[in-house]
Structure 1
Amino acid sequence: MTTIKDRLPTTIHTGRLVLTTPTMAHAPAIAALANNENVHRWLARLPFPYGVEDARMFVEEFASSDAECCFAILRDGEFVGVVGLSLVPGEPPELGYWLGEPFWGLGYATEAAQAVVEAARANGATAVRSRALADNRGSRNVLRKAGFRETHEGIESKGNCTGKPTVYLHQDLSR
């Protein structure tokens, strides 16, 4: 039986971006952009400080696991962030992403999120979900622009953001 991960493309092209499988060649740029307190504060699963070894582990283990479908976000060949889907059996895929701080506010997150959501739809997903810290207005705006609707609020129970107010979002792809 094929999973949605098996059906998703390994590369997605948008108007300005290329989303592709993260490789070891991306590790130095991943480390440089992820080793930033302003990036770290919004992410449940990103360690800090973040070094090249963390980036290598991300590429070798996390990005290639059956539970994740990750894409490096490239703009003119330059690594700018990560977008992907977490895949939990019995639940809709969960969209997650992060961008390096120099690339905030340029529409890249929305463009990448929309492309991954559309790829999920085209390959059989009937819904996707996401979440953002309640005070992360930028991410909440990205997700709304990408077609998500806020469904409820709660308290994050995982990772770096444990105990923080969180907004949960959903998008029906069956329409």
Structure 2
Amino acid sequence: MKLRKFRLQDAERVTALLQDKDIAKWTSNIPFPYSKQDAIKWIKSTSQDTDQNPFAIEVDDQVVGCVSHWVNSKSEIEVGYWLGKDYWAKGYATQTLAQMLSQPDFPATDSVVAQVMTENLGSQRVLLNNGFSCLGKYDVQGRSLDLYKKYNNII
């Protein structure tokens, strides 16, 4: 399993992975249906916008999902991830989030945050397994979200 930057030739695979309503249900910014043009536009935007830091998750040389970090509206480092449904509950999200957080070029910060839908127990386990703690619940546009935070020991 490895992380790498997305390439335009990944558009078809990303499109295929995102043809599932459950992925759109559990994410805040992935539409359904998801077209190849959506994938191309997104991949191009990530190569031009240095605030976005998505990494393709590869297993056996095949893209299976994405893990990313960005600076949110509160100037915090936020993380997120998604996997194609065939790759759920296999430990990939937990492992790749840990891998991204430990990369030498990951921003040095005293904490990292993540938001997850309250009903998304799998995603909550990924965060807990990576040392995040739930700080509480809140509603955004009719969706119940949990806020998670991981405190880092930076001296």
Asked if structure 1 preserves the Cα contact closer than 8 Å seen for 2:137 and 2:145, the reply is yes
Equivalence map 1:30-69=2 (5 Å) = 30-62=14-46, 64-69=48-53
Write the distance in 1 (CA, Å) between the matches of 2:25 and 2:47. 21
Residues 137/90 of structure 1: CA separation in 2 closer, same or farther (3 Å cut): closer
**Which residue number in structure 2 is paired with residue 169 of structure 1?**
148
Asked if structure 2 preserves the Cα contact closer than 8 Å seen for 1:63 and 1:70, the reply is no
The structure with higher relative contact order (CA 8 Å, sep 6+) is 1
Aligned length: 154
TM-score by length of 2: 0.92
Equivalence map 1:85-96=2 (5 Å) = 85-88=69-72, 91-96=75-80
RMSD of Structure 2 on Structure 1 (CA): 1.7
Write the distance in 2 (CA, Å) between the matches of 1:122 and 1:52. 29
TM-score by length of 1: 0.82
Deviation readout 1:130-171 (Å, 9 max, x if unpaired): 011000000001110011100010012xxxxx3111100000
Instruction: List alignment gaps of at least 5 residues for structure 1.
Output: 1-16, 157-161
Residues 30/61 of structure 1: CA separation in 2 closer, same or farther (3 Å cut): same
Equivalence map 1:108-119=2 (5 Å) = 108-119=92-103
Equivalence map 1:127-166=2 (5 Å) = 127-156=111-140, 162-166=141-145
Instruction: List alignment gaps of at least 5 residues for structure 2.
Output: none
TM-superposed CA distance for 1:121, in Å, is 8.2
Large movers: runs of 4+ above 3 Å: 120-123
Write the distance in 1 (CA, Å) between the matches of 2:47 and 2:25. 21
TM-superposed CA distance for 1:75, in Å, is 0.4
Write the distance in 2 (CA, Å) between the matches of 1:121 and 1:151. 27
Asked if structure 2 preserves the Cα contact closer than 8 Å seen for 1:117 and 1:128, the reply is no
